[in-house]
Structure 1
Amino acid sequence: MFIGFDALIMAISAPAIAEDWGTTTASLTSAIVASLLGMIVGGLFLAPRADRWGRRPVLIGGVLLFGVMTLAVVAVQNIDQMIPLRFIAGIGLGAVMPNTYAYGAEFAPKRRRATAVTVVGASSAGGGFVGGLLASAIIPTFGWRSVFVLGGILPLLLIPALLRWLPETVQFLTLSGKDDRARALLRSIDRDAVGTVDVPLVMQDHRRGEKPSMKLLFTRRLAPVTLVLCVVFFNAVLLILFLMSWIPSVLTDAGLSTGHAVAASAVCNLGAMFGGVGIGIMADRRRNPSRMLSICFTIAAVAIVATALSIGSIVVLMVSVFVVGAFAIGTQMCVNAVAAEIYPSWLRATGMGVLSGVDRVGSVVGPTIGGALLAAHVPAKTIFLLAVVPAIVASIGMAAVRWVAPRQVENLMSDSEDPTPELSGAGDHLRP
């Protein structure tokens, strides 16, 4: 939840910051983009380290980094001071987000993997929802800096709990040759999971001495699905950040009160929470959910049109942004589950990190376009209608995954590599 709160903290507080500093919300684009650029760096270069160093240290380090840098924003006096802090905070977020999805995929049984990953994503959206409500309540009384106090202190308070109770994944421990720790973790989940200390734990990944690296994602075996997923991730997150970064500002410029504008952002995240979990449950019931996810992106496009046409009616607007959240953000959460399922465990954090880096490029492009449109005084209706384009592209890309993924799995299996390796030596009910 703290990740979702921190990821949207600039969008939530932008109108109040602009008013305090006597500037326009469009002038804050550089601070929003700086955070997103940091996420690209963290996703591409720090998140993949989890495949070598472990999920746990990278995740905890990322939480510490974005917590400290978010809290430091309280002391800034202008946009130039804010930009480097938001960039470094973005690096921390970029390291954390892909690894939370990797955790969800590796701790969940295969039959519930999509649901588990989307629940992780829904908790992030929940942070955006709660953050929006808190911001609308505390900014009028305590000012915009209070939002950054909460966004920085809460993650830092979480670190002792992560150090005490967050375990490394069984898959990583086994692949690292730390069988004793893996057995201990399995027994802490279920004392009957491993019968004796002599039972070997084996991951069926057949790495043949290969080390995790980005170049493996673009070899013959993984290149087709990686490239298609890059298109989907780029456009889906461009859409999400195009909307989420500027919903409060666009609606404020359209004549809505600041309270209603921030509430609309919160409602969009609420829709993401319910939509993500619901779509994840449905995806687990399908052998190949790509077609369903393609349809969901199409529904998001229709809801965006409804939002553009309902700006004059608060009730209809809130309903339409709820649906946008459910079928744009919620669908992307489930796309994360599909991607996590495709990549083998020993390459999962690298794959998710690269996809996260690509989608952060989209997240930079989206707010940049939105800021430029606001600066050019483009009507709110037109801004929302333009968001239909990436929704349609994401829908087409997800439909293509349906055709690429079966061949991809076949290629992997022909090379004796299971794309979703199982752990032998544990009870069937605990297998990933």
Structure 2
Amino acid sequence: MSPTLDAQHIIDNAPLSFVQRRAIAMIMAVSFFDGFDALIMAITAPSIAEEWGTTTASLTPAIVASLLGMIVGAVLLAPRADHYGRRPLLIAGVAIFGAMTLCAVAAQSIEQIIPLRFLAGIGLGAVIPNSYAYGAEYAPKRIRATVVTIVGASSAAGGFLGGLLASAVMPSLGWRSVFLIGGLFPLLLIPALLRWLPETVQFLTLRGKHDQARSILRSVDARAVGSFAAPLTVPLSREGTKPSIKLLFTRHLAPVTLLLCVVFFSAVLLILFLMSWIPSVLKDAGFSTGQAVFASSICNLGAMVGGVALGARIDRSKSPYHVLSLAFLVAGIAIVVTALSLGSLVVLMISLFVVGACAIGTQMCVNAVATEVYPAWLRATGMGFLSAVGRVGSVVGPSIGGALLAAQLPARTIFLLAVIPAIVAAVGMGVVGAVATSRRRIQAPADALEQSDLVETEENSGSGSRNR
């Protein structure tokens, strides 16, 4: 048998190179703008409602349309990255959500903005899971969770700075200026992505593009690659096996997939329940529009700090699931404090910072854990599916929030109801940790993806293809 080079081993053991740093910086920029765009309706809703002479609750369909689009993008587009590559899907997604956000500048009614937000959501749905997969594949294992959470923190930074920008420019320039910025800058990023966003080494290797992969690896660690043209491999590659959602539910992956579905659904429901309506709820509670939008930004600031800190902790932890379970529990406690502190702006800001750190920040780390669950050839499919499940929660969350606002419930009651999904997420991660401790299989379920699972799945689908 001819000698081979393990591409993943080279990335895991080499120092972080300039090529990796640049690739991660590019994906951070993508994540920043998707975070800005994902919250743009929540940020601008009070101003739009005021201009159009309606209520913020009446804008619920526009917020939900964006989230439905994310589900479509996550299910239909994101998994295509396992077939066509991370790079083209990421660039296409940025082009879609940038263009549709820019078009919304001309919207004159709710009916006009709804389809534009749906189409923008499709682009976001393709970008978000592939951003995490891309970051994970360019990061060495020793800092992978940290890098993935930094990618997530970049999204939170987009939401944070978007809120600050909106509070600064909307009073004088109106809400359309926010959509102009949110649409134009992602489009201006595309030339840089075309030049400096390389395809991942793992995908190139799986598709037999060894010369391209080897060229990138030489930039990572020239000594490890050497000058000879040895074939490249990646762990758990499955030649001839078509990635599909069905493979996520083979007997070794099914437990972790189902448990992560529960966590993604409840955590994203919680996050979007809060982030979509915090400005409106706080304004109804007596705060000014500027204070309400700033409070939303503080939550995103907490997400950035908490996500990176938790990611670094997970890289050093032998039981990351229990760390994440505890963090979700702390988020629930912070939400209770928020509900009880509506009379104090200072306490409110502190509690919302903790909510951001332990709800949004923890979900970033759940994404980091999830990228480790699935092998490279199935990663975009797995992350896309989990993202879609989370986006179902993201539709349910704002819809519930809009209904509660329409029912004119007190702000305190609305916040207290948000504790429920935080508890569900905490319990879900705790169960994952318990299963990992008892079976030692979920800790790296990709390693347990047996040949028999794949053969059985392919036979059931009638493909008749054989794995090596």
Taking structure 1 as the reference length, the TM-score comes to 0.95
Q: Of 84, 92, 96, which residue of structure 1 is paired with 2:115?
A: 84
- State how far apart, in whole Å, the 1-side matches of 2:108 and 2:229 are: 62
Look up the match of 1:127.
158
Matched, 1:358 2:392: no
- The structure-2 alpha-carbon separation of the partners of 1:73 and 1:358, relative to structure 1 and needing over 3 Å to count, comes to same
Q: What's the CA shift string for 1:342-386, capped at 9, x where partnerless? A: 111100000000000000000000000000000000000000000
- State how far apart, in whole Å, the 2-side matches of 1:156 and 1:137 are: 23
- State how far apart, in whole Å, the 2-side matches of 1:410 and 1:337 are: 13
Output the amino acid matched with 2:341.
S
- State how far apart, in whole Å, the 2-side matches of 1:408 and 1:327 are: 23
* Shift of residue 186, structure 1, vs aligned partner: 1.1
- The structure-2 alpha-carbon separation of the partners of 1:414 and 1:388, relative to structure 1 and needing over 3 Å to count, comes to closer
Runs of 4+ in 1 over 3 A off after TM superposition: 408-417
Q: Which moved more, 1:178-187 or 1:197-206?
A: 197-206
Look up the match of 2:441.
407
Q: What's the CA shift string for 1:43-97, capped at 9, x where partnerless? A: 0110000000000000000000000000000111100011000000000000000
Q: Of 85, 93, 96, which residue of structure 2 is paired with 1:54?
A: 85
Q: Of 105, 111, 123, which residue of structure 1 is paired with 2:142?
A: 111
Look up the match of 1:421.
none
Contact (CA 8 Å) 2:372, 2:446: kept in 1 or not? no
Contact (CA 8 Å) 1:293, 1:395: kept in 2 or not? yes
* Shift of residue 409, structure 1, vs aligned partner: 5.6
- Aligned runs of 1:11-410 on 2, under 5 Å? 11-207=42-238, 209-405=240-436, 406-408=440-442
- The structure-2 alpha-carbon separation of the partners of 1:160 and 1:414, relative to structure 1 and needing over 3 Å to count, comes to closer
Output the amino acid matched with 2:371.
A
* Shift of residue 197, structure 1, vs aligned partner: 3.3
- The structure-2 alpha-carbon separation of the partners of 1:410 and 1:371, relative to structure 1 and needing over 3 Å to count, comes to closer
- The structure-2 alpha-carbon separation of the partners of 1:287 and 1:384, relative to structure 1 and needing over 3 Å to count, comes to same
Contact (CA 8 Å) 2:74, 2:129: kept in 1 or not? yes
Q: Secondary structure at the match of 2:203?
A: helix
Matched, 1:6 2:37: yes
Taking structure 2 as the reference length, the TM-score comes to 0.87
* Shift of residue 209, structure 1, vs aligned partner: 2.9
Output the amino acid matched with 1:384.
F
- State how far apart, in whole Å, the 2-side matches of 1:414 and 1:118 are: 25
Q: CA RMSD in A?
A: 1.2
Aligned length: 417
- State how far apart, in whole Å, the 2-side matches of 1:114 and 1:204 are: 19
- The structure-2 alpha-carbon separation of the partners of 1:410 and 1:398, relative to structure 1 and needing over 3 Å to count, comes to closer
Q: What's the CA shift string for 1:282-307, capped at 9, x where partnerless? A: 00001230001000000000000000
- The structure-2 alpha-carbon separation of the partners of 1:132 and 1:46, relative to structure 1 and needing over 3 Å to count, comes to same
Contact (CA 8 Å) 2:372, 2:444: kept in 1 or not? no
- State how far apart, in whole Å, the 2-side matches of 1:415 and 1:122 are: 31
Output the amino acid matched with 1:121.
G
- State how far apart, in whole Å, the 2-side matches of 1:204 and 1:274 are: 33
Q: Which moved more, 1:62-71 or 1:208-217?
A: 208-217
Output the amino acid matched with 1:300.
A
Output the amino acid matched with 1:24.
T
Output the amino acid matched with 1:88.
L
* Shift of residue 188, structure 1, vs aligned partner: 2.2
Contact (CA 8 Å) 2:34, 2:155: kept in 1 or not? yes
* Shift of residue 402, structure 1, vs aligned partner: 1.3
- Structure 2: give runs of 5+ residues left out of the alignment: 1-31, 452-468
Contact (CA 8 Å) 1:65, 1:88: kept in 2 or not? yes
Q: What's the CA shift string for 1:216-245, capped at 9, x where partnerless? A: 111212111100000000000000000000
Output the amino acid matched with 1:374.
L
Q: What's the CA shift string for 1:250-304, capped at 9, x where partnerless? A: 0000000000000000000000000000000000001230001000000000000
Contact (CA 8 Å) 1:63, 1:93: kept in 2 or not? yes
Contact (CA 8 Å) 2:237, 2:376: kept in 1 or not? no
Contact (CA 8 Å) 1:234, 1:359: kept in 2 or not? yes
- State how far apart, in whole Å, the 2-side matches of 1:396 and 1:156 are: 41
- State how far apart, in whole Å, the 2-side matches of 1:211 and 1:125 are: 34
- State how far apart, in whole Å, the 2-side matches of 1:130 and 1:60 are: 23
Q: Secondary structure at the match of 1:192?
A: helix
* Shift of residue 410, structure 1, vs aligned partner: 7.5
Q: Which moved more, 1:138-147 or 1:208-217?
A: 208-217
Contact (CA 8 Å) 1:206, 1:416: kept in 2 or not? no
Q: What's the CA shift string for 1:306-328, capped at 9, x where partnerless? A: 00011111111110000000000
Q: What's the CA shift string for 1:128-169, capped at 9, x where partnerless? A: 010000000000000000000000001000000000000000
- The structure-2 alpha-carbon separation of the partners of 1:214 and 1:224, relative to structure 1 and needing over 3 Å to count, comes to same
- State how far apart, in whole Å, the 2-side matches of 1:174 and 1:398 are: 33
- The structure-2 alpha-carbon separation of the partners of 1:68 and 1:412, relative to structure 1 and needing over 3 Å to count, comes to closer
Q: Secondary structure at the match of 2:441?
A: helix
- State how far apart, in whole Å, the 2-side matches of 1:410 and 1:54 are: 24
Q: What's the CA shift string for 1:382-416, capped at 9, x where partnerless? A: 00000000000000000111133433467754555
- State how far apart, in whole Å, the 2-side matches of 1:217 and 1:144 are: 42
- State how far apart, in whole Å, the 2-side matches of 1:290 and 1:301 are: 17
